[in-house]
Chains A and B, each alone.
Chain A
Amino acid sequence: MYYQPEIETASREEILKIQNEKIVKQVRHVYDNVKYYRDLMDKKGVKPEDIKSVDDIKKLPFLTKADLRDAYPYGLLGTDLKNCVRIQSTSGTTGKRVVAFYTQKDIDLWEECCARAIVAVGGTNEDVCQVCYGYGLFTGGMGLNGGSHKVGCLTLPMSSGNTERQIQFMMDLNATILCCTPSYAAYIGESLAEAGYKPEDNKLKAGIFGAEPWTEEMRRSIEKSLGIKAYDIYGLTETSGPGVAFECEAQAGMHINEDHFYAEIIDPDTGEVLPEGEKGELVFTSLDKEAFPLLRYRTRDICVLTREKCSCGRTHVKMSKPMGRSDDMMIIRGVNVFPSQIETVLLNEKYPPNYQIVVDRVNNSDTLDIYVEITQELFSDKVSDTQAREKALEATMRTMLGIGPKVHLVPPKTITRSEGKAVRVIDKRKLHD
């Protein structure tokens, strides 16, 4: 099932034609309206007329999160404020907030992208779509809410939090599609079990989970606890919000909405464009944004693009699940560590997705402590058994990560549950700097 079959299954030639037409206009629009980027282009000696097709995008200068902060709040605005109808904003957890602007057309296109994602997981106007991403400045709630309306689902605009009420609405109103962060989905699954519900008791069939990195193991764990198929969705406030890319029934990579966003993979050190299939930093160029057009925006997400034919019939390029945003990457004793690697080990070893990673510096040496909840199945009355489990996890982690962590098994419900983006990592080193 497709929301916009013509474009979602268009041939490569058709997609390229659309992209080439749009990029010429988009670059002209940016050059004429955004002084900040015009200066970058002038500095690099690139004129709008140099960009004749998407092949020429590589000539354009990059934009980074630092540029967005420098240009805050209006520096990258591509149209008069009177044409804008809304802002959305990042959570600001990795520094200063980013504020993105939208015209009504920008919102319509964004919501269409979200609608494609909902239809891709089987959504129709007969579905009940429970959106428990946060509503408000965060793009998650507003984006999926709009997409759900476009598809014609009965939309439950729950926002995040109040899990008891989430469960009540889910059960009473027979929600069939759940939209939230993966960590909140896991928590809802856990809470349903605590309330005495089995996975088959709910009417959910699919979940659209994004806004934070999650692993394949986490997907299986959520699917089991809720009795659903779990799908990934990708987006950034900078590029509009969720729906830039979404998973189809194949559950093998996310189709990028190429008629609106042009994707490149670059070598994060040299900035050089890498060929298809190589791992590198994902860079997006908007093709038809009015209020907040971004050319060559470096996402800092590390992933792979593939044009391999997809069984779902969609022709748009697919991106792999990001291996983690470079913001998430921890450098511990000189070794690069992603929280997703730790999550993979824990779930493979049958631990629950309830964990917290604490990085600190003691006597000038980095320490890595992993707190994970023990389950009924893993509990023993013997101290030696529990300590042996900790040691075994430490050994597996050491092999996986290249550095040795200290593992602490803690009682159930000790790790604070998240209703939005989970706080997986506490880096105390920053406090000392």
Chain B
Amino acid sequence: MAVKQLSVFLENKSGKLIDAVKTLADNKINIRAMSIADTKDFGILRLIVSDAEKAKTALSDQVLCAVTDVIAVEMKDEAGALCGILDVLNKANINIEYMYAFTASTANGAYVVLRVDDNSVAESVLKKNGIATLNNDELQKM
């Protein structure tokens, strides 16, 4: 099951990030994980939030944003855990466009968000190798 990620296009200028984050705060939207890809001119902010659609609606007057399906994988918070997951994807020739990780106070504790070209292919490869992917409900409950 893919999870919803909010992607936001921002000008690479001071004040742009806080404007967007403040809107999320005003709308009581919690940020679970985030990463920013930056170039000289612009940045793309990627967020896992408590409600991606609500966040998109709140931000849409202000910035360009979209909801994208990404894969979230739970893993043990220990050395080599990420390596095992990437190894599976690598052997199946699945290219990762970008990724970022976060931790939470759950049993396993560590998570990685993966952006690949074809979510269903990646998910079935992971599943075949005994690696479960998270769905939106599981993310909300953390």
Contacts and interface: CB of A to CB of B under 8 A. Distances in A.
Interface in A361-389: 374-376, 379-384, 386-387
Given A376-B66, A409-B41, A381 B46 contact: yes
A350 to B, nearest CB: 15
A382 B63 contact: no
A386 B7 CA distance: 13
Interface residues of B, number: 19
A381 B100 CA distance: 14
Nearest to B63: A411
Interface string B36-65: 010101101010000000000000000111
Contact of B10 (A375, A376, A383, A411): A411
Nearest to B46: A381
Contacts of B41: 408-410
A196 to B, nearest CB: 12
Nearest to B68: A381
A303 to B, nearest CB: 36
Given A374-B9, A411-B10, A411-B11, A381 B44 contact: yes
B82 to A, nearest CB: 21
A412 interface: yes
A384 B64 contact: no
Contacts of B10: 411
B8 to A, nearest CB: 9
A83 interface: no
A382 B44 CA distance: 8
A164 to B, nearest CB: 15
A381 B11 contact: no
Interface in A222-277: none
Nearest to B70: A381
Contacts of A382: 44, 97-98, 115
Contacts of B39: 383, 386-387
Contacts of B44: 381-383, 386
A383 B9 contact: no
**Among B39, B41, B65, residue most surrounded by chain A Cβ atoms (within 10 Å):** B41
B5 A381 contact: yes
Interface in B60-104: 63-66, 68, 97-98
A355 to B, nearest CB: 14
B113 to A, nearest CB: 11
A375 B115 CA distance: 22
A405 to B, nearest CB: 14
B42 A409 contact: yes
Given A386-B44, A410-B11, A381 B64 contact: no
Given A410-B42, A411-B42, A384 B97 contact: yes
B98 to A, nearest CB: 7
B115 A379 contact: no
A414 B97 contact: no
Given A374-B64, A376-B64, A411 B9 contact: yes
The 8 closest A-B pairs by CB, nearest first: A381-B7, A383-B37, A381-B68, A408-B41, A379-B64, A411-B11, A411-B64, A411-B9
Given A381-B68, A411-B64, A414-B11, 7 more contacts: A379-B7, A379-B64, A381-B66, A383-B37, A387-B39, A408-B41, A411-B42
5 contacts: A374-B9, A376-B64, A381-B44, A387-B39, A410-B41
